[in-house]
Structure 1
Amino acid sequence: MSDSSDRIVLRDVKRVSGETIDIVIEDGRIAEITAAGKGNGQLLANVAGAYVSSGWIDMHVHAFPEFDPYGDEIDEIGVKQGVTTIVDAGSCGADRIADLISDSIRAKTKVYAFLNISRIGLSRIDELSQLEWIDKEQVKQAIAVYEDFIVGLKARISRSVVGDSGLEPLRIARELSDDTGLPLMVHIGSGPPDIQEVIPLLQRKDIITHYLNGKTNNLFDAEGHPLQVLNDAIARGVHLDVGHGTASFSFQVAKAAKRHGVGLHTISTDIYRGNRLNGPVYSMANVLTKFLSLGYSLEETIDAVTCHAADWLGKPELGRIQAGDAANLTLFTLEDERVELVDSEGERRVANRLITAKGVVTGGEYIECEVRA
């Protein structure tokens, strides 16, 4: 799409429902959606037969490359993986959020962020262990300045992060959420604090990320039944996000959740350089393939990275394919191919269907994906 005035046709592409269509793009917008073979314009090569969805949205990434271990380049975990929109999950607090925004301006991937309630963000991995690192006025000032970029607040509530601070960082986060009107994304993990104390503090539109983790302090009992605090949270409208990550996704817990009808709200990767290159995450397509292997349909799986995520963000246009909208599309294939998958617990399972990201259309440009699994 070197010339934005060209009419580009994605010919013979398939919706997730299986319907084959042509999509005509002009000046970076969807000009027409028509029957297969009927679209007029310059053909975009090598997409016939691919599936097309609205651009994938990853609700939990770490995209600030200066931080180690939890950092990566924006486009490496964005458009190169078939993901047109990422939401950085609290890499930066008020001290560095301006730097993340500066990075995002140079990227081809659309970026939003949860602001870490700790001003130091993930420059340390115990960022909530000292309450003086939570500056409420700094948080509010950052939100006022960057209101179009910040979509919520992030609090990592697990033992290694909060140390002796216990539940107090979450209580402060709740107060900040109430004061600013922004929801919380709460990371859950090893206790203390106990999960039974954490979840009741969450309200409608707040997010539990890592809800399928296999740690002892998780949301399911020994027989795989969801805890009552989880059922109550779902009834209140609390949102569930996968946040696979290095240590936060268990096939066994995911099977229990499916068996009991829990989820599926949004699938996210919690990706950063280490688990992208060395696993167990690798890519969004790899994580989506895991949910197909668990028995979710293609439509359920793709909805969890398109319309569900877009609705939570309050940007439904990001989750649809409609004439007149900006062209924001992911093209991918579904192959009958044997693949070995691994979760965060080291459990391996073999699947026979593989999702592979092929390319994205965003910002008036077609970008071929570099990640193939």
Structure 2
Amino acid sequence: MNERFVLRNVRRVNEELVDIVIEDGHIAELEEAGKGVGAQAIDGSGLYVSSGWIDLHVHAFPEFDPYGDEIDEIGVKQGVTTIVDAGSCGSDRIADLAASREQASTNLFALLNISRIGLKRIDELSDLSWIDSEQVKQAVRAHQDFIVGLKARISKSVVRESGIEPLRMARELSRETSLPVMVHIGSGPPDINDIVPLLAPNDVITHYLNGKANNLFDSEGRPLEVLTDAIARGVKLDVGHGTASFSFKVAEAAKRHNIRFNTISTDIYRGNRLNGPVHSMSHVLSKFLYLGYTLEEIIAAVTNRPAAWLGKPELGRIQAGDEANLTLFTVTDEPTTFVDSEGDTRLGSQRIEAKGVFVHGKFIEC
């Protein structure tokens, strides 16, 4: 769409109605609703618009089973214009993942798994010899435009007898590469009280609402001291819903105690996209409407907040002169049953549904 056209009467999440004038794939003007001028007008009445959604935790390397999927299946077809592969590949295969961007409409970045084998097997940190510091640093240098952080999955099934040592090695690699670490938490050991104190400002805890015994809240639903301390020093909290890492009971406790997310991500891959409980970014966001978060806070968690963490604020804004990077969606009053990773259900009254994206100069319908 290289001509000048107007996306008319779309609603921003603050409920403001606007016209967005797009020319040569860029936002030319933001106008009061009904005032935009262009050769073609597209009626966006009934649609919300935000900057393109960003999913900070996906698995987009389809060769690795079970944790893999096609880039655009979990990207633009979901209303998500930018995805971050969260450690599918280590240094052995990161070049292949980087090359896969060429065939995709979705923007793709990556967190480099500190294990060189990545998710070729699911106990990738059980052998410390697979953590090759020089290969990590070489991969980071070779893919500076692509690798945005490091990934360490610190749970029992991944580290086995290696314990906390992989996280200590990740911390040192973070220092040497100047990249933050996203840490997956789950079943222990290692104990959560040993994991969280090792995290630094701008590191990310993903799966922070998981319902496993080794989680971040006590039996009464109160946040552990290591969690409140981490938040105070600037550690970020990411949802990372996934197949086994989101609990309504924990999410409800977190909200009661004002332990709020920085980012909402899906941890999506083929299995939990097709069979649930994730299904889509829209479906995950709808669960947070049920939990009582405002639409503005929910959408910020997939737009300007992850964009800021990525160091790419332009991805999280709608501003004249920027590339048109937009997600169009609806919020519908409709009873919807939601299922968490524990099999618990909740009946919501609203759902979010992505309708399309503008990215790289074209409109793609969801």
CA RMSD of aligned residues (A): 0.8
In structure 1, what is the Cα distance between the partners aligned to 2:78 and 2:46? 19
Q: Does 1:332 align with 2:329?
A: yes
SS at the partner of 1:225?
Answer: coil
SS at the partner of 1:103?
Answer: helix
- How many residues were matched structurally? 366
Corresponding position of 2:151: 154
In structure 2, what is the Cα distance between the partners aligned to 1:262 and 1:21? 33
In structure 1, what is the Cα distance between the partners aligned to 2:197 and 2:257? 21
C-alpha deviation, 1:264, in angstroms: 2.1
- Structure 2 counterparts to residues 52-63 of structure 1, below 5 A: 52-63=49-60
Q: Does 1:308 align with 2:305?
A: yes
In structure 2, what is the Cα distance between the partners aligned to 1:128 and 1:264? 27
In structure 2, what is the Cα distance between the partners aligned to 1:315 and 1:358? 24
In structure 2, what is the Cα distance between the partners aligned to 1:52 and 1:44? 16
TM-score (ref. length: structure 2): 0.99
Q: Answer whether contact 2:6 2:42 (CA < 8 A) is retained.
A: no
Q: Look up the equivalent residue of 2:94 and give its one-letter code.
A: I
Q: Answer whether contact 1:10 1:48 (CA < 8 A) is retained.
A: no
Q: Answer whether contact 2:335 2:347 (CA < 8 A) is retained.
A: yes
Change (3 A) 1:26 1:142: same
Corresponding position of 2:198: 201
Deviations 1:310-333 (A, max 9, x none): 111111111111111110000000
Q: Look up the equivalent residue of 1:22 and give its one-letter code.
A: D
Corresponding position of 1:254: 251
C-alpha deviation, 1:43, in angstroms: 3.9
Q: Look up the equivalent residue of 1:249 and give its one-letter code.
A: F
SS at the partner of 2:216?
Answer: coil
In structure 2, what is the Cα distance between the partners aligned to 1:259 and 1:235? 18
Q: Answer whether contact 1:184 1:207 (CA < 8 A) is retained.
A: yes
Q: Answer whether contact 1:159 1:190 (CA < 8 A) is retained.
A: yes
- Structure 2 counterparts to residues 284-295 of structure 1, below 5 A: 284-295=281-292
TM-score (ref. length: structure 1): 0.97
Q: Does 1:273 align with 2:270?
A: yes
Q: Look up the equivalent residue of 1:133 and give its one-letter code.
A: W
Q: Answer whether contact 1:11 1:43 (CA < 8 A) is retained.
A: no
Q: Look up the equivalent residue of 2:205 and give its one-letter code.
A: I
Corresponding residue to 1:7 among 4, 12, 15: 4
Corresponding residue to 1:34 among 31, 34, 53: 31
C-alpha deviation, 1:48, in angstroms: 2.3
Deviations 1:192-232 (A, max 9, x none): 00000000000000000000000000000000000000000
SS at the partner of 1:84?
Answer: strand
Q: Answer whether contact 1:51 1:332 (CA < 8 A) is retained.
A: yes
SS at the partner of 1:271?
Answer: coil
Deviations 1:286-326 (A, max 9, x none): 00000000000000100100011111111111111111111
Corresponding position of 2:73: 76
Q: Look up the equivalent residue of 2:260 and give its one-letter code.
A: G
Q: Answer whether contact 1:114 1:152 (CA < 8 A) is retained.
A: yes
Corresponding position of 2:100: 103
Q: Answer whether contact 2:239 2:266 (CA < 8 A) is retained.
A: yes
Corresponding residue to 1:264 among 261, 266, 291: 261
Q: Answer whether contact 2:5 2:42 (CA < 8 A) is retained.
A: no
SS at the partner of 1:152?
Answer: strand
C-alpha deviation, 1:37, in angstroms: 1.1
C-alpha deviation, 1:42, in angstroms: 4.1
Corresponding position of 1:185: 182
Corresponding position of 2:91: 94
In structure 2, what is the Cα distance between the partners aligned to 1:44 and 1:141? 49
Structure 1 gaps of 5+ residues are none
SS at the partner of 1:9?
Answer: strand
C-alpha deviation, 1:44, in angstroms: 5.3
Change (3 A) 1:58 1:320: same
Corresponding residue to 2:13 among 12, 16, 20: 16
